[in-house]
Structure 1
């Protein structure tokens, strides 16, 4: 968490940053952050305490470096894509591409901080750009489907949602939790189903 101090393999003390830059929404189930990086900019060393979903608003190439010196991971996110990730060692993210990068990072509290130990979600999942997807009758287009979360995009209209969902606009900072039932959306949205048991 922000302000926590960890020690690097070389013995340097590192003060950790938050997992995101600005909190857009925070309730009993989820915390949603804005993460935005210009080309060449780095989000500093941080540590996730919750499994999380990354919803890509503006894509770019990225490099994830690990404080323990492990080999970096190279990423290429795209607008409308999503990633589901477990908690992981201390790392930082650099936009190594030539375009602006932005995401909505959704922390899943019931799988992390509300438990004695975070749930082992395995490797998580990642959407694939250009992969064919059959829309649902209500217009939702599947992006990423996992046992714990389902992610769709939808452009306007009414959707009837079963159980709690996180709704995140692609063209504004609007984010909210929807308890389930009918919902009318204008514009382009991520619709994230929380498929695990919740108290909501």
Structure 2
């Protein structure tokens, strides 16, 4: 559901032209839409609005500031490589890289919880990973949990040798943990990976 070009108004009455939720679409099908978001230090992703709950997969972390068009207090973030966030719909906001490092993520929009429904699903506060504190032990196949939410499970896999995964029989998003990494949609079941990846289980 593209939003670029939509006009909203600030509390002061100024017209704000919205941008998309990401910069480049990497994958789009009836279930998900995956964007690349990349910001150099000091760069800002303009005002935008989410119509779908979404998962952020952090490729390269930095300190960041989220400002809200309604004037609410800003939110300060410090995302890290291999971390993840599951977020509900939120008011119009923009994101600025206020750190000294390159910032990049893969933003996965969940259409079946948003634009594919008459009304978006209420997912509550969502979830957020904590660096160094996985929510559960690693699985025997090497998957390390990042987020375990009833709607989505996010895992990382890292191996120089092929790793055989037996994924649940439902859709997954597979995103390489690299600046120009590939993103794919997997129907579930067996999968072999070599390298560093996010594995996102669409459990909903």
Give me the TM-score of the superposition, normalised by structure 2: 0.94
Q: Quote the residue 1:48 is aligned against.
A: 50
- CA deviations over 1:176-198 (Å, ceiling 9, x no partner): 110011111111000000011xx
Which runs of no fewer than 5 residues in structure 2 stay unpaired? none
Query: Superposition pairs for residues 101-112 of structure 1, below 5 Å?
Result: 101-112=103-114
> What is the 5 A alignment of 1:116-195?
116-132=118-134, 133-156=136-159, 157-162=163-168, 163-171=170-178, 172-195=180-203
CA distance in 1, matches of 2:43, 2:108: 21
SS in 1 for 2:120: coil
2:61 corresponds in structure 1 to 59
Comparing 113-122 with 126-135, greater Cα deviation is found at: 126-135
How does the TM-score come out when normalised to structure 1? 0.96
Runs of 4+ in 1 over 6 A off after TM superposition: none
Measured in 2, the distance between the counterparts of 1:27 and 1:82 equals 22
Query: In the alignment, is the contact (CA less than 8 A) between 1:24 and 1:173 conserved in 2?
Result: no
Unaligned ranges ≥5, structure 1:
none
RMSD, aligned α-carbons: 0.8
**Structure 1: how far apart are the matches of 2:164 and 2:185?**
16
Q: What is residue 99 of structure 2 aligned with on the other side?
A: 97
